[in-house]
Amino acid sequence: MAQAKPTTQPKFLPRIDGTSTSTNTHVATASGNPFESEEEQEIFSKRRLPLKMPSNYSGDLQHLNVSNNWLVCMLSTPQGRCNLLRIFLPRAIPPGETALDKYLAGYKITNIFQDNTGHHLIIVLVPKHPGVSSDFLYIQCSETPEKQQLKERRIEKFKDHEITSVAFNRYHGKELTTGSILLGTSRGLIFETELGSVNDSTQRKQLYDLGLGLNKYPINGLEVLKVPNSNRWIVVAVTPDAIYSFEDTLRPEERSLQPIFSSYVNGEREPQCEKQKTDLTYSMLRFFAPPSSQYPKQWAWLCGAGIRIGELSIDASSNATLLGDTLINLDFVKVKHLSYEERRTIVPKSFVLTEYHAVLLYADHIKAVCLLNQELVYHEVFEEARVGKLISIERDMGTGAIYVYTNKMTFTLKICREERNIWRIYLNKGQYELATAHAAEVPEHLQLVLMQRAEAAYKEGAYEAAANYYAETEETFETVCLKFTILQDKRPIISYVKKRLSRLTMSDDGDKQADALKALIIWLIDLYLTQINLPGKEKAWRDDWQAEYDEFMRETPVLACTSLHRTAVQQLIGEHADPHNLAQFAISISDYEEVIGQQLKAERYAEALQTLSKQSDLSLYYKYAPQLMEHLPKQTIDALIAQGSKLDIDKVVPTLIVIDTQVQREQVTRYLEFAVYDLNTTNDAIHNFLLHLYAKHQPKLLMDYLEIQGRDETLIHYDIHFALKVCTDLGVKKACVFLQCLLCMWTTAVDLALEFDMGLAKETASKPQDNETRRKLWLRIAYHEIKGTDDVKKALSLLKECDLLRIEDLLPFFSDFEKIDNFKEAICDALRDYNQRIQELQREMAESKEQSTRVCKELGQLRAHSITMKAQDACDICDRILLVKPFFVFICGHKFHSDCLEKQVLPILSKEHNRRLGMLKQEMEALMAQTVTQANHTPEQQKKRADLKAEIEEILAADCLYCGLLIETIDQPLVDDWDQVNVEWE
């Protein structure tokens, strides 16, 4: 049989050769037939557990419990002694033992309860004779690698109460304390207590009374649970005829379980209760949780009707606790009239729960029943003569291991892939989702499930679902297609083919099946176009198919295939006479030129522009934008602007010449403004074009444009002469004045401004930097204002506006008969101004004379000034003896060798002085080379040599290095070439 996914299994001890196995054993296969023969390992198999008992231990096994790999057993000897043995099954720690004889006088042990950590034991003591109170022992266990320590003590607080069930707190329990736990008694009482070695004074709290005063109403099962990821707590209790559940939400810091029962004790609500008529004197409660989980998945209750199976709620807000209503019928009704010996073989003594099975223990055999179909899958008979009398069966909640024990031996019940045929059970029950989930790991099983599910869906008329299931099977493509092609609805066949296409594209050999891939895609396109263009259908119906078709065509494998076989696809779409989808396909394969051409030919300009905007080939903008501009100017310009700087402005110019209508002109202007102001283009043609449109249609905006461009000719991007010609031809005088100012045509600009705006003329006349030019311009303005009018007020106003004009400049513009009285004040102001200027000139002359006298005196002193050089004087640069080499001495007292000074001065000199100094040195060297061979130097050579030397010294020693040159360069950076410095430092 195919291998299923392995589940986490406990580590079992190795099989012991020679152990007894019953000859009456028969094992059911996974299909549920106990007589079917399969060559595979059984689901359940019994193995003896070899326990190494101490040499002084002998006797019958009375009780056994296993938790977290800690096995606790009770041994009784023929002499009446009773010993407790605690064994760690991995055998890493020596066994722990203790004698309980001193506690058993008049008592017998009815049960052992062990917590989930394996460190806390409760042993129930029941009196053998009337008149003695029930009792129980608590044993706290601890261990080291060398030994174990068992501390037992009698709990006096629970005298007169027979403990029949214990609910350990797996959430708060630790090795030193149990935390708050619940105890159920034979009279239906539920107590809370906490046991441990930390506090010997045990407290008890009665939380609830299920027996309501009855002397015999045992609580046979009790469990405390906490819903994951919440503070909701659940308590489940069972009695022989009922199962109860309590729930409440506790505070996170709450450690007591009493608040769970508070609302029930106060009568605010009643516990959830399910009664079950029974003839049994007991019942059992079992839970199944994976070994790594603290919250069970399933619960089971052995009651009078059989075994009730269900799940536990994990919804923190739900009031329901125990979910499910599955019953495994054990035919208890038939046993009422049987004898005790007959009943003991029919009624189970105990049972445990696994994920998919319930394992029941009877007086002489065990059997396992599948929870899903109640089939018997395992049956094992224990011969009492060989293995002893069966006592009970236990499951370690920590590891999941199952233990069966008799009074002589202990066995483990190994589980081997109990889920192996669960998929088949779900399949037979028609629960296909669960069957698929459990068969997913075995391809053969999964194919059977999918095939049966597909056939069932097809028979039920769920054709689309059936198509999806068939697509996951290995059924031949032709067979499935024949099933669906006969249907009028094409949705199932399309779904099936798409699923098969998806499987084909995801397979490793997809490249080898290129022909099949092409065939499927072409067929799907044909099916979609048939549905889209089907006559007589509503628009919403077509739109739905169109949307699905568009999504299909955008898939990567489809796009790659259709691009490769574009001719065939275009031919197919053309046969369906579908221009819209033909255009969309051309767009998908980036054949935009063809699409736009067809759309323009059909005069669908809006669609053409939309297609143009979707594509990324900029050359198509240059090609089709002029044509679109004729019909959709605003939308075309919007598309051009949306491309921003991607477009080449020079190539867009042909689009911009379409300005036949006002709308086109406005949109062209809008794009030119975008190019100038947003893209910051420097293209002269664009600027000249915009300027021309402004001058012709929007003169006010022209002046704003000219002001933005500024008055620096180097930063202006339009042709000034072209602009002046355009403005002159169109009569934009103000712009002409502005442009003439740029060309320094001041006289022309002022004359033009005088024709229409005196303020502009005055503003223009004030702009030249040359005072003489400004004076002349203001004289022209004065002439224009005064000549012929003899308006004295205007003349006086001009004198105030321009400080370069004088009254004598304006007098010639007045007539000869003008009275001088009108100019009296202005003439007096002019005379006073002349007088002030004369006084200033006299003062300047006196200062100049004084300064020249002082300079002559200083020159006389300099002629007599001398500097005495001493033999120990040193160069201020190199600190060496000064007199050993040619040197310079400055009047400030600094002294330098000639070569030292030259090295320091050269980097400071300007480029022009550096170049001149190099030329002088070359001439000096050439002159020296000529005179070397001559004994006597000519006067001309001597004079030239003296002149060259004087000029060289003038450059090098023009000023003291420390007192002049370095001070002048203090504002210069210390490093000019940081890149070179970084390279040198590295």
Q: What is the mean pLDDT of residues 979-984?
A: 70
Neighbour-count burial of 422, counting CB atoms closer than 10 A to its CB (0-12 exposed, 13-18 middle, 19+ buried): buried
Overall average pLDDT of the 650-659 stretch: 80
Specify the pLDDT at position 817.
Answer: 47
Residue 975, pLDDT > 70, answer no
pLDDT over 80 (residue 141): yes
Q: What per-residue confidence (pLDDT) applies to 208?
A: 95
Inter-axis angle of helices 579-588 and 539-553, nearest 10? 20
Alpha helices by DSSP H, listed for 589-632, are: 592-601, 605-614, 619-631
pTM, entire model: 0.56
**Residue 860 confidence class, pLDDT cut points 50, 70, 90:** confident
Distance of CA 134 to the CA centre of its chain: 65
What order of strands is seen across the sheet that includes strand 232-239?
Answer: 221-226, 232-239, 242-249, 272-275
Instruction: Note whether 22 and 404 are within 8 A (CB).
Output: no
Nearest-angstrom CA–CA distance, 344 and 362:
7
Tell me, what amino acid is at 722?
A: F
Which pLDDT band, with edges at 50, 70 and 90, does 369 fall under? very high
pLDDT value at residue 224:
95
Greater pLDDT, 773 or 414: 414
Predicted confidence at residue 929, as pLDDT, reads 79
- Contacts of 443 by beta carbon, 8 Å cutoff, 6+ apart: 2
| Confidence (pLDDT) at 413 | 93
Residue type, 957: A
Mean pLDDT of 798-825: 58
Residue range 32-40: average pLDDT? 43
CA 323/CA 327 separation, integer angstroms: 13
Within 10 Å of residue 565's Cβ, how many Cβ atoms?
16
**DSSP designation for 676:** I
Give percent of the chain above pLDDT 90. Answer: 24
- Residue 973 phi/psi, 5-degree rounding, is -65, 150
pLDDT of residue 47: 92
pLDDT of residue 464: 87
Nearest to 230 by CA among 313, 290, 161: 313
DSSP codes of every residue in 656-668: HT--SSHHHHHHH
Question: Residue 411: what pLDDT?
Answer: 94
C-alpha pair distances (Å), 599 with each of 584, 620, 818:
12, 14, 83
Q: 867, 866, 889, 857: which is closest to 876 by C-alpha?
A: 889
Q: Express as a percent the part of the chain with pLDDT over 70.
A: 86
Q: Which three-class secondary structure string do you get for 787-807?
A: CCCCCHHHHHHHHHHCCCCCH
Q: What pLDDT, on the 0 to 100 scale, is given for residue 121?
A: 95
pLDDT in tens, 210-230: 988 888 999 999 999 999 989
Does the pLDDT value for residue 730 go beyond 60? yes
Q: Are 262 and 247 in contact (CB under 8 A)?
A: no
List Cβ neighbours of 563 (8 Å cut-off, separation of 6 or more).
588, 589
Q: Give the confidence band of 277 by pLDDT, cuts at 50, 70, 90.
A: confident
pLDDT of 339 over the 80 cut:
no
Q: What count of other Cβ atoms lies within 10 Å of the Cβ of residue 659?
A: 18
- B/e letters for 360-392, b = 16+ CB within 10 Å, e = fewer, are bbbbebbbbbbbbebbebbbbbbeeeebbebbb
Residue 825 burial (CB count, 10 A):
11
Longest dimension (CA), the chain: 166
pLDDT at residue 203, rounded to an integer? 85
Do 450 and 438 form a contact (C-beta atoms < 8 A)? no
Using an 8 Å Cβ cutoff, are 243 and 184 in contact?
no
User: One-letter amino acid identity for 288?
Assistant: F
> Which band of pLDDT confidence, cut at 50, 70 and 90, is reported for residue 22?
very low
| Alpha-carbon distance values, 1 to 30, 195, 375 (Å) | 10, 51, 20
First CA to last CA distance, the chain: 74
- Residue 112's H or E segment, with its range, is strand 107-114
Q: Per the structure block, which two tokens stand in for 650?
A: 């020079």
What pLDDT, on the 0 to 100 scale, is given for residue 25? 36
Output the CA torsion sign for 930, 935, 939, 942: positive
Residues 631-657, mean pLDDT to the nearest whole number:
87
> Which amino acid belongs to residue 905?
V
H runs (alpha helix) in 404-513: 422-428, 432-439, 443-460, 463-471, 477-485, 491-506
Give every CB contact of residue 47 below 8 A, 6+ residues apart in sequence: 12, 13, 15, 16, 19, 411, 412, 413, 414
- pLDDT(57) > 50: yes
- pLDDT given for residue 789 in this prediction: 56
210's tokens? 């299920």
Higher pLDDT, 536 or 262: 262
| 547-559: pLDDT as tens digits | 998 888 888 888 8
Contact indicator for 590, 622 with CB cutoff of 8 Å: no
pLDDT beyond 50 at 16: no
Which is more confidently placed, 53 or 276?
276
Average pLDDT score over the chain: 83
* pLDDT: which is higher, 65 or 815: 65
Comparison of pLDDT for 775 and 752, the residue scoring more? 752
Query: Would you place residue 338 in the very low, low, confident or very high pLDDT band (cuts 50, 70, 90)?
Result: low
What is the band of 595 on the pLDDT scale with cuts at 50, 70, 90?
Answer: confident
Q: Write out the two tokens for 426.
A: 């779900």
Instruction: Give φ, ψ of 496 to 5 degrees.
Output: -65, -50
Confidence of residue 803 (pLDDT cuts 50, 70, 90): low
> What digits encode the pLDDT tens for the residues 172-201?
989 889 999 999 999 999 999 999 875 566
**Average confidence (pLDDT) over 321-329:** 86
Q: Are 210 and 189 in contact (CB under 8 A)?
A: yes
Range of lowest pLDDT (27-36, 305-314, 744-753): 27-36
- Taken as a whole, the chain contains a residue count of 986
**What mean pLDDT do residues 706-721 have?**
88
For residue 15, the model assigns a pLDDT of 34
Cα angle 668, 674, 679; round to 5: 135
Q: Are 252 and 231 in contact (CB under 8 A)?
A: yes
Q: What is the pLDDT of residue 867?
A: 81
The neighbouring-strand residues paired with 275 are 242
